[in-house]
Amino acid sequence: MPRRSPAAPARTPSTLGTAQAAGTINLGAGADSLTLSSAGDNTLTVSNSETITGGSQNDAITLGAAQAAGTIDLGAGTDSLTLANGTNTLTVTNAETITGGTGADTITLGAAQSSGTINLGAGADVLNLSSAGNNTLTVSNAETVSGGTLDDTITLGAAQAAARSISAPAMTA
């Protein structure tokens, strides 16, 4: 019988069968994924899940630990994501509100957003907009905002310091 290395345990995706009104989920080490219930609204603090898939209702997710890499798609509903204090590097889709912590966060939008508010908080933060469609957002506390290849409308939600950068790809006529 083959032996499995203890350094690379097999992981089964975790799926919530019922909505969670409150709680904490820590999936530990490994490449973990969590799928939220569509039976109702979910409000959770999640740690150590490299992939989070939202349900069809309203999800409010707080990251309990900073993530060096990950993908979060909160699905349908009016959803919010609060980042952990520390450095987070994530691809985020279908989160109408993203709130940063104290670290230097890099957020890439996995799909275009037709509305939403992103406030990345303290730190030298980077926001990369999706090129999958037009983005219309209110953005605060992002030191660098890189536009997608289509028409983006960004409203600055707070006065920006002189050391901020907003860029768009070159356009051709």
Given this model, what pLDDT does residue 172 score? 45
- Closest among 109, 116, 108, 117 to 89, alpha carbons compared: 108
- How far is Cα 22 from Cα 25, in angstroms, rounded to an integer? 10
Domain boundaries of the chain, sorted by first residue: 20-167
Per-residue pLDDT of the chain (173 residues; tens, 9 = 90+): 444 444 545 556 788 889 999 999 999 988 999 999 999 999 999 999 999 999 999 999 999 999 999 999 999 999 999 999 999 999 999 999 999 999 999 999 999 999 999 999 999 999 999 999 999 999 999 999 999 999 999 999 977 665 567 776 754 44
Contact 110, 73 (CB under 8 A): yes
Strand ranges inside the chain, DSSP E: 14-15, 24-26, 33-35, 42-47, 51-53, 59-63, 71-73, 80-82, 89-93, 97-99, 106-109, 117-119, 126-128, 136-140, 144-146, 153-156, 165-167
Structure tokens at 133: 């469609």
Q: Is the pTM of this model over 0.75?
A: yes
Q: What contacts 99, CB < 8 A, 6 or more positions away?
A: 80, 81, 82, 83, 119, 120, 121
Q: Are 80 and 91 in contact (CB under 8 A)?
A: no
